Structure 1
Amino acid sequence: GDTLRYQGHPFRKNDKAFLIDNGTKCSVTVAGIGEHEITVKRTDGSKTKVSLGMLVDGRMGLLAKGASGI
């Protein structure tokens, strides 16, 4: 419950990451990790819930800060 493993990277609460949404990359902070979704906080302070299903089927993505690939 404390760590989400996604594409080989562990994501924990308060980790900085990039959220990929419809091809747009924005900086976020992991605000919470639930059983079926994670909550991320955008730089403008708004929060977005991302279901794990959306990550699995590729509708949205997470990229660890400092990771190569994008």
Structure 2
Amino acid sequence: MNARNLTLAPAAFARTFLARNLIGPLSSSYIKQLDLSPGRQSPLVATPVLVGSLGRIPVGAPTDKFGGG
């Protein structure tokens, strides 16, 4: 169980970290290619932050109940 957690935790972190942090640098090219207005740019920038914040709720509740490892 501990070896599995030790393998999966960094892999999951790396995957989500890369996905979230790629949107920021690529957003300027998305904005230019799609010709987005400022109102349409804001969801592009805000979505990774909101998903990260809201995603902690369903993950955090079972972690509090059952423990992290």
Larger Rg: 2
Question: Which protein, 1 or 2, shows the higher relative CO under an 8 Å CA cutoff with sep ≥ 6?
Answer: 2
Give 1 or 2: higher helix fraction.
2
Same fold per TM (> 0.5)?
no
Q: With structure 2 as the length reference, what TM-score do the two structures score? A: 0.22
Q: Which has the higher strand share?
A: 1
